[in-house]
Structure 1
């Protein structure tokens, strides 16, 4: 979990902006969304297979 220390003479808005940027870089929210519901291993494999197929289809253009 990213930590943000408010610097001297820094507004809360600027610190919040830095915190949000750090969280997005760390991928924390994406990980939370991914773990929100349990997915069976077979479902995960299906999703990866579909994503790979979709990516390959896009690259063909």
Structure 2
């Protein structure tokens, strides 16, 4: 990852770097690896994430089919 510092404005470059790291999910990954997660907690988290992904997929499909109002094309 690369950030260009313009006019010796380091503060702005740091803000840009933090935003890029946030988008990449580095902070979330660091937080996840900071503490031990029990296998049962990991399974529960992964199952909840899978349910969330599935609901998002179904919601998008329903919008696409015109069953619920949304950002129309």
Q: Which residue of 2 aligns with 1:59?
A: none
Note the residue ranges of structure 2 that are not aligned, 5 or more in a row.
55-73
Note the residue ranges of structure 1 that are not aligned, 5 or more in a row.
57-61
State the TM-score, normalized to the length of structure 1: 0.60
Q: Which residue of 1 aligns with 2:28?
A: 30
State the TM-score, normalized to the length of structure 2: 0.53
**RCO higher in structure (CA 8 A, sep ≥6):** 1
Query: What is the aligned length?
Result: 59
* Structure showing greater Rg: 2
Shift of 1:54: 7.7
